[in-house]
Amino acid sequence: MNPSVGYSDRRKSKPIGLAYIGAYLRHNGFEASGFDFGDSPEAPVDLSARHGLDRFAMVGFSVYNESLDATLEHAAWIKRRNPAARIVLGGPHATAVHSEIMRDCPDVDVVVRREGEKPMLDLARRGEDSWLDIPGTTVRLPSGEIRVNIDSPFLDDLDALPFPDFPFVSDSGYPPLTYFDSARGTLLPALAVNSSRSCPYNCSFCGVLTIGRKYRMRSGESVVAEMAHFRAADGLDYKHVYFSDANFYVYPKRALLIVQALHAYDPEITFSFGTRVNQLIKHQSFIPDLKECGLRFVELGIESASPQVLKRLAKGVEPADNLGAVRLLERHGLGVSLDFIMIDPETTIEDLRANQAFLRAGGFYDYVPHEHLYTHLVLYAGTPIRGYYEERRGTAFGMSELPPIETLIEDAATARAHAALVWFRAAYQPAVDLVLAEAEALLQSRARHRERHPVTPDELALQLDVVAARHAPNLFFDNVLDDCERRGGGRAPDASGTPGTPEEFAALLPRPGTGSPGLDGLLLRAAARIDALASRGTGGADVTSRTRALLRTAPPVATVNGVAADGS
């Protein structure tokens, strides 16, 4: 089960890790049910009651930092009604703090460390008196003593695992996974596939380290068989594969063999994957063959353009490597998906300037979504960077604590820049996103049907507005950095101080686009042009009223160290 955390800032998709465990249990003869409440706003006790979670003999939770407290609420409710139920916690966070969980959380019976398939199967097979010594688990003995059993061996033969075909009860469901192939002008049904486990590198912020760095791989035949399986099971002709591996490109020969097998199975399949900058550069000779087999874009773990930040993150690359990797993909006509950490606790305005210079040089002023502007370092339990900041601050973070970046930033100018970004994200980014999404859909539709929709002056004007709207968040951030430099730095204010007000930030808004209408005016003008063009085709889209509503309801909340006064 994925417990409730009441929100989700990521795309809603099936939890593959839990699906593997559920499928593994079923494959070995045990009935299992899956629940995914990851973005449910409902209280854990209400979800537990509505779905009758106390009826199960064993309930396993996949736990992250932000979901531990909700997990414990679920567990307490279940235990009060069914004391014999075995409560099991697993996942990266539970692995990192397994001893603390068993010490402080009496409703938890077992923590499964690292991979979950084999320990969960052993727990299902063992009786009440014989499950305290299972490898890969941490348990509480009848005496109250905490026992950390030996690690369970890693699953080396990933091809032997059943495919993660396992259903979940989810209030919100899962939207269809798609990929728009601009080369064909077609929206493709897509499938997320995990072809390997772990990563042999040691980035200081990465939660994969808690699970272990032993890299294991599937064969191309296994990946093809999974594609065929889900095409038949789901009745969808999947045409794009999102490889969800932590690092798909550790062994480029293996990566090429997998996609060659997919290409032989169906030459129309396209794919994408994530990897490190230095691996892409070192093994660039494979890129033409990968593209020939359908590669469309690569998700790059760039993280920062600051040498100091890259060193803290243990990336093992220089800023020039990041830009070189981006331009390498551009030369081959391939897209880039950007993984970025704009701010960490020690970030300076100079670091932020370097980041903006990289985004400009790499062509990312036109890049959407704009999430890279708002990202910050998250100190996950079990990561070296969390230990570094605990030592630097002279205090240990709580077992379930994810310290807000606002409380960690050390430089006053950086705190102000971050607060400005928080304000802009709430006040303007929803309207920017709406206008860009509606404009893109409309312009693509008109381009596909040029015989009915010849290019008009209004369409050209909308295209200019789209460019201006794409640039607006970056231009705002440039203005913010100029303002921060004028004001100077120093120590960040404590909780009693404010790094800025909405009125001060509003004064830094850019006036992009032709005619300098101001950002509100630009977005409303673009929305009106979308509605006018849409009304000549399939009917009005009413983008104007929706944009106006977003701008009207944007919260001009006061901030304390960038945290909204209402806690949001």
For residue range 416-448, list pLDDT tens digits in order. 999 999 999 999 999 999 999 999 999 988 888
Mean pLDDT calculated for residue range 165-171: 92
- pLDDT on residue 557: 40
Q: Give the Cα separation of 94 and 97 in Å (integer).
A: 5
pLDDT per residue as tens digits for the range 261-297: 999 999 999 999 999 999 999 999 999 999 999 999 9
Nearest to 460, CA basis, from 533, 370, 539, 385: 533
Q: Give the Cα separation of 259 and 298 in Å (integer).
A: 14
Q: What is the pTM of this model?
A: 0.91
- pLDDT on residue 56: 97
Residue 146 CB coordination number (10 Å): 15
Q: Give the Cα separation of 409 and 419 in Å (integer).
A: 11
Q: Kind of pairing, strands 559-560 and 563-564?
A: antiparallel
Percent of the chain residues topping a pLDDT of 90 = 81
Token output for 168: 């979940």
Instruction: Name the 3-class secondary structure at 274.
Output: strand
Q: With 70 as the cut, is the pLDDT of residue 538 above it?
A: no
DSSP letter assigned to residue 192? E
Q: Which amino acid, 413?
A: A
Q: Give the Cα separation of 139 and 132 in Å (integer).
A: 6
Q: Give the Cα separation of 483 and 492 in Å (integer).
A: 16
Q: Are 90 and 63 in contact (CB under 8 A)?
A: yes
- Sequence-ordered list of residues with C-beta below 8 angstroms from that of 394, at least 6 positions apart, any chain: none
Q: Please write down the HEC assignment for all residues of 304-350.
A: CCCHHHHHHCCCCCCHHHHHHHHHHHHHCCCEEEEEECCECCCCCHH
Strands of 240-243's sheet in order across: 178-181, 186-193, 240-243, 270-275, 295-303, 335-340
Q: Give the Cα separation of 5 and 366 in Å (integer).
A: 33
Mean pLDDT calculated for residue range 32-54: 94
